Structure 1
Amino acid sequence: MASPYPAPKTEAATISREEVLGLLKASAAAPTRRDFILVDLRRTDFEGGTIRGSINLPAQSLYPTLPAIYGVFKAAGLTKVIFYCGSSRGRGARAAGWLADYLASVGETEMQSLALFEGVRGWANAGGAFVAWMDEYDEAVWSKAAATA
């Protein structure tokens, strides 16, 4: 089935889970200086937990709302928008590309649009240091996902 939205023109830049973990730890130490946001794009597959502090914006609703989302993120002083889905190869990469395209179209140079490398699945399977930063973590979901991958 073809997507009703265009493919992004910009290839999504990625960010490692180690770098995101560092951002989370730094923001926990100085919460008023948080300049990034994590966006979980999952909708019906939103199970097993999410990275602490993420907002949920299902990918299906993202493209038509980019101008409004950008406005909110800009007003909040965000410099990094980090998208993820299960693997960040599909929805995560597309969303990061769409926002990168939008940022370029409005001349935005201070905000980055990024996809979390290997998505929430990679995060959940990376061990205790990462799982400790998940809300509603359910090991059974990730064990099952690893067994079927």
Structure 2
Amino acid sequence: MDVNSQISIAPPAPWYSAYPAPRGDTPNKITRGEVLALLNEANASGNKDFVLVDVRRNDYEGGSIRGSINIPAQSFYTTISSWYTLFKAAGVKKVIWYCNSSRGRGTRSSLWFQDYIDDNSDAELKSMILIDGIKGWATGGNEYVERMDEYVESYWK
């Protein structure tokens, strides 16, 4: 009998298993239309009290929403306190997270950050996900695509 056929190799644990599960399971949500309105308002007024966070790492193709920062979800948990301090110092009121669909990494990051906000009894800062993530944004029409950097149309087909 082949020795290799008797060896069972377990799949690696998911990256997030190294960290505590978020306490909640339902993140605050925001639609792409609401985010577009926030971007338009910020452009008109010059005031921006929100930040868009793209948590993709290896699948960062196809473009991102202009002005987003990239914090890969896989490295986020260990730096939550630093990001919280930075966002507070910048006067941020909303942190809007997204990944490809906002059903995995975006949701997890948003919930972890909301836990940290709650632990600090902060009623001014809100953590939320972009419903349908970057895929929903990129396929939402020209008004959304025009707000993307490095947009690759064929990636979203």
The aligned length equals 142
Task: Structure 1: give runs of 5+ residues left out of the alignment.
Answer: 144-149
- Aligned equivalent of 1:9: 23
Deviation at 1:12, TM superposition (A): 1.0
AA aligned to 1:129 is: E
Match of 1:120 among 134, 143, 150: 134
Q: CA deviation at 1:133?
A: 0.6
Counterpart-to-counterpart distance in 1, 2:152 and 2:57: 17
Say which of 107, 111, 118 aligns to 1:93.
Answer: 107
2:147 pairs with 114, 124, 133, which one?
133
CA distance in structure 2 between the aligned counterparts of 1:14 and 1:7, rounded to whole angstroms: 19
Which residue, out of 121, 137, 141, partners 1:107? 121
Partner SS for 1:28: helix
| Alignment correspondent of 2:89 | 75
SS in 1 for 2:91: coil
Letter of the 1:52 counterpart = R
Normalising by structure 2, we get a TM-score of 0.88
- TM-score, normalization by structure 1: 0.93
Letter of the 2:44 counterpart: A
| Runs of at least 4 residues off by over 3 Å | none
- Consecutive unaligned residues in structure 2, runs of 5 or more: 1-12
Q: Does 1:27 pair with 2:62?
A: no
Q: Does 1:57 align with 2:71?
A: yes
Deviation at 1:5, TM superposition (A): 1.1
Write the distance in 2 (CA, Å) between the matches of 1:7 and 1:54: 25
**TM-align CA RMSD:** 0.7
Q: Which residue identity is paired with 1:19?
A: E
- Counterpart-to-counterpart distance in 2, 1:91 and 1:63: 11
The letter of the residue matching 2:143 is: A
